[in-house]
Amino acid sequence: MLTNQYLLISDVPIMNKWIYFILIVLSFALYGNTIPNDYALDDDNVVNQVYVQQGLAGIPNILTHRYGVQGDKVALDYRPVILSSFAIEYQFFKQSPHVSHFINVVLYALCLLVLYHLLTTLFRLQEIHPWLPFIITLVYAIHPLHTEVVASLKNRDELFGLLFGLLFIKYAFLFFTNTENR
């Protein structure tokens, strides 16, 4: 059973705080150049959708309609979380590709932090070698395969998928290993 779940930043060891800081800076160093970019060709499916452009008022319609609906022609998958994130973003910033790209970089940084946290608290890889979780996270962070995911706004679902998947692994492990509540 894990005794320290790092629920507060004050509970995180000082070395991990530095590693978290380095991972955040690395995310912006690698993908911060996408922030001044404009929308890409495929981003129209999300940013120009009628329900997204209604802001918060469009979220009930987003929850009941399919992703990428453009009249009667196109009806893609059902992705309400992604469209809702763009609707919330539209409510506060209107159509701003720079804010959207910034949010994608922040989401990528969060994914790196959660990945490192998972490698240290759940898998305890630092017991094999103190730098192993950081090196694994670093290799993951700099891999060029992730460029399209961070740079293209329509791929925010990939970022959410990784973030929520890692969080699910962590909390499922905590749930199934917690014997106090059984």
Q: How many CB atoms lie within 10 A of CB 182?
A: 5
pLDDT digits (tens, 9 = 90+) for 16-51: 889 999 999 999 999 999 999 999 888 887 888 889
pLDDT digits (tens, 9 = 90+) for 124-164: 999 999 899 999 999 999 999 999 999 999 899 999 999 99
Full-model pTM: 0.87
Amino acid at 77: D
In the block, tokens 């094999």 appear at 128
- pLDDT over 50 (residue 6): no
Cβ atoms 120, 126 nearer than 8 A: yes
Report the mean per-residue pLDDT for the chain: 88
Measured distance CA(132)–CA(89) in Å, rounded: 37
Q: How many CB atoms lie within 10 A of CB 138?
A: 17
Measured distance CA(23)–CA(3) in Å, rounded: 25
pLDDT at 3: 46
| Largest Cα span, the chain | 57
Using the CB atoms, write b or e for 93-129: b if 16+ within 10 Å: eeeebeebbbbbbebbbbbbbbbbbbbbbeeebbeee
- pLDDT over 90 (residue 68): no
Measured distance CA(103)–CA(89) in Å, rounded: 9
Measured between its terminal Cα atoms, the distance across the chain in Å is 14
Token pair belonging to 104: 């994608």
pLDDT digits (tens, 9 = 90+) for 98-131: 999 999 999 999 999 999 999 998 999 999 998 9
| Local structure of residue 137 (DSSP, 8 states) | H
pLDDT at 47: 86
Token pair belonging to 65: 């309609």
Cβ atoms 21, 140 nearer than 8 A: no
pLDDT digits (tens, 9 = 90+) for 76-100: 788 899 999 999 999 999 999 999 9
